[in-house]
A and B are shown apart, each in its own frame.
Chain A
Amino acid sequence: VSVTLRFELNGALRTVDVEASASLLEVLREQCGLTGTKYGCGLGECGACTVHLDGRPVLACLTPVLQAGDARVTTIEGIGGDGLTRLQAALVRHGALQCGFCTPGLVMTATALLADLPRPTEAQVRQRLVGNVCRCTGYTKIVEAILDAAGARGA
């Protein structure tokens, strides 16, 4: 059943005809062409599809698309302007990514984390990352990069 959905996507108003039973992930990737948001498990267990819904990190694969109606959706494509954000630059500088497949979701989670807790502790960072699985890095450099971006002690 197709319905017309209006929402704010990365700062611009969008109107999209969607299947009412679709997930936000399907609509973002297949209809909006925003492939920075990844499919990693489809069950909400890896965080690769993390986006912001009204500023809060959520899992696009488990978000019923109708619940994004009239809401503000931000994807990795909506983070930063021309250059990298402080967080993104820190992730690059610290070598906090390898295959990079989990990275967009991680950026979304960590961006929200720094908005909530501008000076997090290492334990808080690890706690907030519990929904973002990375198989490459062992998280050490990710945590260092986030603390560095927060202006806390780098490691």
Chain B
Amino acid sequence: VPDAPLRIVGRPTPLLESPAKVTGQAVYTHDVVRPGMLYARILRSPHPHAAIRGIDTKAAARAPGVAAVVTAADTPKVRYIYLGGPFSDRYPLALDRVRFVGEPVAAVAADTAEAAEAAVALVRVDYEVLPALLTPEAAMAPGAVAIHPSEQCLGGPNVALRSERRYGDLEAGLRAAAHVFEHRFRYPAVLSCPMETNAAVCDVFDGVLHVWTPTQVPQFVQKELAHVLDLPLERIRVREVAVGGGFGARSKVCEQEAIAALLALKTGRPVKLVYTREEEFEATKPRHAKDITLRTGVDAEGRIVARHARSIVDNGAYTHMGPGVMGYGGLVAAAVYRTPNVTFEGRLVYTNKHPGGQYRGFGAAQMLFAIESQMDIMAEALGVDPLELRLRNATRPGDVTACGWKITSCGLAECLRRAASAIDWERKRRAPGPNRGVGLAAVVHVSGANVYAYGDFSEAVVEVQADGRVRVVTGSADAGTGSNTLLAMIAAETLAVPLEAVSVLSMDTRDAPPELGAWASRFTMTGGNATRLAAEQAREELVRAGADLLEAAARDVRLGDGRVFVAGSPERGLAFREIVRAHGPIHAHARYDTPTDALGPSGYGNISAAYSFAAHAAEVEVDPDTGRVRVVRYVAAHDVGRALNPLAVEGQIQGGVAMGLGAALQETMSYEGGRPVQRSFLDYRIPLATDLPPIEVILVEPGDPGGPFGGKSVGEPGLVAAPPAIANAVAHATGIRFTELPITPDRVVAALRARDGGLPRGADPRVHPALWRVAGVRALYPSVVFPLLRDVGARWARRPRRPERVETERPATLAELGRALAAADGRSRPMGGGTDLLAGMRQGIYHPERVVDLSAVPELGEIAEEPDRLRLGAGVRLARLLERPEIRSRLPSLYEAVTHIATPQVRNMATLGGNLCQQKRCWFFRGGFLCYKAGGWTCPCYAVLGDNRQHAVVDADRCAAVGPSDLATVLAALDATVWTWGPRRERWVPIERFYRGPGEPDLAPGEIVRAVEIPWPEPRTVALYEKVAPREGDFATVSAAVTLRVQGLVVEQARIVLGGVAARPHRAAAAERVLAGAPLDAATGARAAAGVLEQALPLAGNAYKIDVARRLVARLLGRAAARAEAVRR
């Protein structure tokens, strides 16, 4: 075939599925409906470690609407294959022991999801609680209880695997080094969070179990299901369906498929199982946390001569892909830079937490965070520019790395130069702007790796159908990466047809040839090459058959536009469909074998068909007051061989960078008793549009001789480079080196202040008798109080049940409302827009039997402008406040506060009254921990010792939550009054005195907020508000509202109210006293700010709030002075 210019490959091409996806027509597993379908829910372990003595399912089986209950007793009692051998350690449903909170124990199928949920609560499990080992250190301690039997612990007690790989001679290398650097880095668990939660629909018909599931690997799922269900492979068919995100997490079996299948087999009916988002956080697999120590030797010229990398990997409760994740880290340690002598040691340690799994960047993410951070540390110590140090050591084309990787194409040096140049490296490195810095990081990744059984090939089918259209059949699944589109482009290019003439059938295990799937950055290389080979076969067959029919020599015919024609006489030709009619359908089946070595125990060998490289450059700005790191610019230069579909390639890079920036700056997963604390998108903060800059992509295209049309992988490196690039930029901006992720504002503030004498410590309880009791209890919390309340007190906890039914009424007049409220009791709840109540009911913090919907009562929606005040009905939706010009002009602090509450969608529904009455946002309370507020006075406050960065620094006693309402803060500063209304009384309460506790308004059952009255500010009043929050629209870390009445530049009266620091809106009384009668200048501002929160008694992780609050008040007073000055002129 003569080389023609490419028509399709290399052009930006929208994904084939895009029209269906932008119109909502694409069908995902969540959307699959089968006739007579049942809904399933899972009973999960509440304990991190316990033996199961018995399970009683009788009551659940008898519950209304229940079709079946399954436990391990209903299964063949076979473990998942996973990595096979001793690494096969987990049953679909716990057999006799649970090893993490969230492990499935039983499952129910019922007519509705609610009925299944109710029945799950009736399953009785008799647990014998065992000691839980929550860190690798605890699990490796002598005498620790065994999480798994010794035959599953190849590396010693609770160590699934101990690995050592030696490339070259480490000791000799270190001896020859001019400098040796040793540093320790920690990469925490992070979660991939696909937008479609895990789900499965299983339906048995025609003797076959049909499975719809969001997976990247249909054939793995088929094989694992056949294994754990003891069914022949051909009786299981995984079907094609749209997949709502993968990110590697779905590149092995996830556990919901087997559970739905068991229920479908037992009932003979279709079963749908959809995880809630909370289940995703509790029970799906995060990236393995790693603790990495690097010892690196460099010679006098700054060349790396030796590296000793040790890592301790938190495996979680089961071995999913931990051995691979650990081992791959050792390989990249020997590959990104020329490093002749490398020793890698790793220990993969079982703990009683959810099992780690695959996640984009597989093992490299952790190791390259360490290596790339250390590169900058070394550069600084050696007095070499970090870019120069990288260029001196960068792996080059033709290299064979210490671990045996044969580098073909390699654009690493070019990526480094171009990323640096795009960010204006030399100038910004020398003269960064104030609080700004730039950082670089480099990455290597496999492209078509042979690291798993059957990973060394792909197969594809290309058919020319009776109508002349082309169809590609692949066993892979497209989770949004564009893999289907890529195959169609390759087939269209090879067969010289328009892209529209090609369709792709993916996933379906009945029709597809063997294929491991699109994951591990393998598919462009493997699936792309297999499709290219199959298309070439189809082309040869078309040429032969066409030439025969045209009575021409095969070498004289050409393909074009879906025809075969004689060169030079295009009119002498036949359309594909005419050829197929005469010749019969064309079915070309090809296999591509990667030119790789299997990865043996030595860890040496060329495991990938090619290798991809990237370098990123970031510019950040660090807010010295709030600790927030803003990414100003981000440039990602990638050697992708050749960008086969630039649109998809850029998308993969940008999406990877976004995930990496999330891991770098904001995604936090902490644990309490082995249970994840962050269980929603509000608390596990994946990036929003406002968190990210535009991500600039530079494509470096050296072309790879082994890639289809020169292409290489692109899926993973984008994520890997971002955290070290950011850490390096932050170090440049601040001089502070973060060796642990994420670099969150609380850590930045603490580190900045540590340099200048530490964070404010708040009040000294010894000299404040009012603080003695709380300080004393806190001192005893770790040893006595917390264990006692958690283990003993909680036995007497009240555990409110979700009511079987909820009655909702929606009165239309004030009189009807009065009657509805008169009948209200403790089991009734008023509802405004529903945004807090519905969410809270799902989180189990509200359990009303009766809901009174206030939204139809006209009086509650009124806005009345009186001469002396503004009266806002409680039912006024927040978005309406932004549409009132008088609020914007006369109550600017209120307006400012509303613009930063939640999201546009929430503001369109949420009401003023609902905002004031919403429940606290403590992640323990909302996360199902049986705490003091959830379970009653015999229960502990988990924030005292747990992750308390968001909790109260003042007035925290039995509960450390803060009041959540931003409006309460700003309205208190505006001296507003709450008009409460009920059948027995109505009251006007100053908002400052409206709360009994955090998110606990002073309202009796049946009493509601009717309106809020805000006095119009007097002339010469300056009112300002500012919120510091983890993200746009989030609840306040600290907020401050200031209302000052000034005469000239002298303050006559001041109200300063803080949010986010206490259970109630917190008056900064000392600061107000400083201001009263004083000139509004910098000195007064500083004195006032210094007195803020002087009575605070912070917890271990939230003293930064005191510092942030003081700086925020100082900033607002500075703005107020400027405003007053402007008014005076």
- Write the residues of chain A forming the contact surface with B, with a CB cutoff of 8 angstroms: 1, 20-21, 23, 29, 33-48, 50, 53, 56-59, 61-64, 66-67, 69, 75-77, 79-80, 84, 88, 91-95, 97-104, 107, 109, 112, 122, 125-144, 155
Contact = CB atoms under 8 A, between A and B. Distances in A.
Q: Which of A35, A101, A127, A143 has the most CB of B within 10 A?
A: A101
Nearest 5 pairs of A and B residues by beta carbon? A36-B24, A131-B903, A99-B480, A100-B21, A138-B658
Contact of B30 (A38, A69, A100): A38
A140 to B, nearest CB: 5
Contacts of B772: none
A23 B113 CA distance: 14
B506 to A, nearest CB: 14
B376 to A, nearest CB: 24
Nearest to B835: A62
B858 interface: no
Contacts of B24: 34-37, 75-77, 103-104, 107
A44 B834 CA distance: 10
B691 to A, nearest CB: 9
Contact of A100 (B26, B681, B688): B26
Contact of A138 (B647, B655, B1032): B655
Nearest to A87: B22
Nearest to A61: B838
B1069 to A, nearest CB: 35
B851 A135 contact: no
B435 interface: no
B247 interface: yes
Interface string B816-855: 0000000000000001011100110011000000010101
Given A34-B24, A37-B24, A42-B277, 18 more contacts: A1-B807, A38-B195, A41-B277, A43-B680, A44-B835, A45-B682, A62-B834, A79-B23, A97-B21, A98-B481, A98-B482, A99-B479, A101-B242, A104-B22, A112-B904, A128-B904, A131-B902, A135-B686
B421 interface: no
Contact of A137 (B658, B908, B1033): B658
Interface of B: 12, 14-15, 17-28, 30-31, 33, 192-197, 242-247, 274, 276-277, 479-482, 647-648, 650-651, 654-659, 680-682, 686-690, 692, 694-695, 805-810, 831, 833-835, 838-839, 842-843, 851, 853, 855, 879, 902-906, 908-909, 1031-1033
Nearest to B645: A95
A98 B655 contact: yes
Contacts of A94: 647
A93 to B, nearest CB: 6
10 contacts: A36-B24, A69-B810, A100-B20, A100-B480, A104-B23, A109-B904, A130-B689, A130-B1033, A137-B658, A138-B654
B195 A133 contact: yes
Contacts of B905: 44, 47, 50, 57-59, 109, 131
B655 A137 contact: yes
Nearest to B682: A45
B838 A136 contact: no
A4 B482 CA distance: 44
B197 A40 contact: yes
A137 B900 CA distance: 24
Nearest to B803: A21
Contacts of A59: 835, 905-906, 909
A100 B680 CA distance: 21
Contacts of B903: 47, 130-131
Nearest to A91: B22
- Grouping DSSP codes into helix (H, G, I), strand (E, B) and loop, the B interface class, with mixed when no group exceeds half, is loop
Contact of B195 (A40, A75, A91, A131): A40
B850 to A, nearest CB: 10
B1032 A91 contact: no
Contacts of B695: 138, 140
A21 B807 contact: yes
A95 to B, nearest CB: 4
Q: Which of B26, B692, B1033 has the most CB of A within 10 A?
A: B26
Contacts of A135: 192-195, 245, 247, 655, 658-659, 686
B655 A39 contact: no
Given A39-B30, A131-B905, A84 B810 contact: no
Contact of B839 (A20, A44, A77): A44
Nearest to B243: A99
A140 B909 contact: no
Contacts of A80: 23
B908 to A, nearest CB: 4
A127 B274 contact: no
Nearest to B806: A21
A64 B853 contact: yes
A63 B834 contact: yes
Contacts of A107: 22, 24
Given A21-B807, A135-B659, A140-B695, A98 B681 contact: no
B692 A138 contact: yes
B680 A45 contact: yes
Nearest to A70: B856
A56 B908 contact: yes
Nearest to A85: B22
B881 to A, nearest CB: 14
A97 to B, nearest CB: 5
Contacts of A57: 904-905, 908
A130 B833 CA distance: 20
A64 to B, nearest CB: 4
B633 to A, nearest CB: 12
B253 to A, nearest CB: 19
A99 B689 CA distance: 17
Nearest to A131: B903
Given A42-B276, A57-B904, A88-B23, A62 B839 contact: yes
A24 to B, nearest CB: 9
A131 to B, nearest CB: 3
A141 B28 CA distance: 23
A120 to B, nearest CB: 12
A43 B839 contact: yes
Contacts of A127: 689-690, 1032
Contacts of B694: 122, 140, 143-144, 155
Q: Which of B197, B651, B805, B843 has the most CB of A within 10 A?
A: B651
B838 A53 contact: no
Contacts of B687: 138-139
Contacts of A61: 838
B659 to A, nearest CB: 7
Contacts of B902: 131
A66 to B, nearest CB: 5
A95 B274 contact: no
A44 B841 CA distance: 13
Given A21-B808, A42-B277, A43-B681, A126 B689 contact: yes
Contacts of B853: 64, 66-67
A129 B276 CA distance: 23
A34 B33 CA distance: 12
A55 to B, nearest CB: 10
A35 B689 CA distance: 25
A48 B479 CA distance: 17
A64 B23 contact: no
Contacts of A97: 15, 18, 21-22, 480
Contact of A36 (B25, B243, B655): B25
A45 B15 CA distance: 27
Contacts of B839: 42-44, 62
A48 B834 CA distance: 17
A70 B928 CA distance: 37
Given A20-B808, A46-B681, A103-B21, A93 B14 contact: yes
Contact of B274 (A39, A104, A142): A39
A48 B197 CA distance: 12
A66 B810 CA distance: 8
A135 B838 CA distance: 25
A38 B25 CA distance: 11
